[in-house]
Amino acid sequence: MTVDQATAMPDAEDLRDLRQLACSILDKYAADALTAPRQALPFDDSLWQTLAASGLTLLSTPMPAGGSGAGIAEAAALISATAEYAAPGPIAETDLLAAWLLTVAQLAVPDGPLTSGTCEVAVSEADGGMVRVAGTADRVPWARDCDTFVVLGSTVAGEVVIRLPADRCSIVPGHNVAHEPRDAVRFDLDLPRESVVPVNSGLAREWLLRGALARSVQTCGAMESALGLTIEHASQRIQFGRPLGRFQAVQHLVAEAAGEVTAARAACEVAVRTAVQDGIASPAGELAVAVAKSQSARAADVVSRVSHQVHGAIGFTLDHRLRHFTLRMLAWRGEFGGARDWERRVGAFALAAGGDLWPLVTSGRPDPAS
């Protein structure tokens, strides 16, 4: 029940090409979509189909399962780019969470957008060899736009992966502060036994790590765009007869934000590299993801504050694109665990190292027992 993945980082050039392909698609989408004065960026089926036709929606999913057979590094490059354009839809969720769970459970990966959640599930025997499953998965990203939900359920007998048809579940709409769908999915239905697959108990942790890495990378993408808009605004907006960026006070704000983006980006790069080389669920992978999530979440505070401060009132309205990025980073910083949650994890690794804090810093490899 393991999914083989590459253990070497792809060439930088290949990642650049991939990024370019994604950006060429996203440029066309973003030209109009980001300027509409409305809160939400709704799911865009034609964007999804274009990304899917280029093999970008199931990038890290193995080829036999219908994916492109790349790795986490490629997936990270893609979701970073999509976040830079605030592209709507469950791009990270489809590939890194839902299709991954289906592949691990040896279930078929359907076409179209997928999403994933975790919850407690009551499982019982039903008529005709069927299995009855019931539960509620909260805050499932983009559930209303997906035909299939993949739930990682915890049951009294252990963990199961369940493939749920959307038309037999009920959805209670919810949103994050960026007005992205975060819906509750309620289900109570009979499924064929083969749609409810027992899996080993480490999967919930890996699911969380994948989600946290995805949100960290997405946060960095959003921060890059917000910072870019902020530098542009500070260079063009004239007050007191000179551009805002000529004022030292403004320069220092922007430099502070740029420093935080640089740090968060580095932490994410290390996390991606470690996930590729050691496996995301290894102790080294977990430490690196924890660091990336804490750094990106902390940076999101600074970058959103600075970006809005420099933009003034215009950035505080639906008339400006800035909000797409600041609100996403503010939403994403708390999803799949916030800074404090992940710092506790890093702290636990550090204390398990006892007096050997420094070797942990240089190796990035916690004691597997901790």
Partner 1 sequence: MTNLVPPLVQLDADSKSLRDDVRSFLAAELAAGRFVPRVDSWISGWDEEFSRRLGACGWLGMTIPKEYGGHGRSHLDRYVVTEELLASGAPVAAHWVADRQVGPALMRHGTDHQRRRYLPGIARGETYFAIGMSEPESGSDLASVRTRAVKVPGGWELTGTKVWTSGAQHCRAFFVLARSEPLDPDHRHDGLSQFIVELDSPGIEIRPILLLTGQHHFNEVVLEKVFVPDELVLGRPGDGWAQVTSELAVERSGPERILSSLPLLTSYVEKLVEQPGAEEVRMVGGLVARLLTLRQLSLSIAGGLTDDTSVDVPAAVVKDLGTRFERQVVETVAEHTATAPDPDAVDNLSRLLAEGVLHAPGFTLRGGTSEILRGVMARGLGLR
Could you list the residues that contact partner 1 (CB under 8 A)? Answer: 12, 224, 227-228, 231, 234-235, 245-246, 248, 250-252, 254-256, 258-259, 261-267, 269-270, 273, 287, 290-291, 294-295, 339-340, 342-351, 354-355, 357-358, 360-362, 364
| Nearer residue to partner 1 within complex by CB, 158 or 347 | 347
Give, as one character, the DSSP assignment of residue 97. I
Least distance between partner 1 and beta carbon 351 (Å): 5
The CB-of-333 to partner 1 minimum distance in angstroms stands at 14
Nearer to partner 1, 86 or 105 (CB): 86
**With respect to partner 1, which residue has the nearer C-beta, 147 or 256?**
256
Measure the CA–CA gap between 127 and 135, rounded to whole angstroms. 19
CB 203 within 8 A of CB 152: yes
Nearer to partner 1, 201 or 239 (CB): 239
**CB of 240 vs partner 1, minimal distance in Å:** 16
Beta carbon of residue 183, minimum distance to partner 1 (angstroms, whole number)? 31
Among residues 292, 144, 115, 306, the alpha carbon closest in space to that of 220 is found at 292
Would you say 196 or 297 has its CB closer to partner 1?
297
Exposure string for 9-30, b = 16+ CB within 10 A, e = fewer: bbeeeebeebbebbeebbeebb
Give CA–CA dist 273/7, Å, rounded: 9
Token pair belonging to 292: 């990336």
Q: Which two tokens stand for residue 92?
A: 């990270």
Shortest distance (Å) from residue 126 CB to partner 1: 44
* Cα angle for residues 212, 214, 220 (degrees, 5° grid): 105
